[in-house]
Amino acid sequence: MRIGYGWDSHEFKRGVPLRIGGIELPHSQGLAGHSDGDVLLHAITDALLGAIAAGDIGSYFPPSDPQWKGADSVTFVNEAMRLVREAGYAVANIDSTLILAKPQIGPHAPKIQARVAELLAVKTTAVGIKAKTPEGMGTDNAAIAPVALLLVERPGRRPLVDRSAEEVPQPEIDEVVEQVVKTVPAPAKIKSGAKSKSSR
Ligand code: MG
């Protein structure tokens, strides 16, 4: 099991669509950025990469690279998810907070939740989407997204020690028991055989 944490911020800008969590929201301004400025998906990408200690979004998709200009941030999440799967992990759950003055996130939260769930291959009940206004922070012209998530080992790739007894199939238990029995000397051998065997 591994924890991941991500954080991102983008400034509001007129004339661009507002994309948060892979969803386009109706608003007079969007978020400025080299890509589509999706603050939540960037934070999620960083949390995924951070959980497997694989660097950050900038090391895979540098803003200096023209191929990521205007890019759909879903691409970034998908690539981070590929690395997470390759490392043998899957997402267990994610929690996020969107800090922005406008627009109201509440009415759009179920849609964002469903899209994030789809991207991370989890149920919607494993996706927390919360929103706050930036009281006293002076950041009314920005959207900020902190994110935390948990990765668990993928089924079939988890080491035995990490699983509870109920999760381990009986043949696998039998195999381990057999190996343990092989390595433990039988009581009879210790009593009578040890002396004569070692003296030979
Ligand atoms: Mg960003």
Q: What is the pLDDT of residues 129-143, one digit of tens each?
A: 999 999 999 999 999
Q: How far does the centroid of ligand 1 lie from the alpha carbon of residue 143, in Å?
A: 10
Rounded to the nearest angstrom, the distance between the alpha carbon of 34 and the centre of ligand 1 is 8
State which CATH number among 3.30.1330.50, 3.40.50.970, 1.10.10.10, 3.40.470.10 fits the domain covering 2-153. Answer: 3.30.1330.50
Q: Which residues of the chain are modeled with pLDDT < 50? A: 159-161, 192-200
Domain locations along the chain: 2-153
pTM: predicted TM-score of the whole model, two decimal places: 0.78
- pLDDT of 134 reads 97
Q: How far is the CA of 1 from the centre of ligand 1 (A)?
A: 26
Total Cβ atoms within 10 A of residue 14: 8
Cross-strand bridge partners of residue 130: 97
Q: Which has the closest alpha carbon to 84: 46, 124, 118?
A: 46
pLDDT reported for residue 155: 73
Q: Cα(196) to centroid of ligand 1, in Å?
A: 74
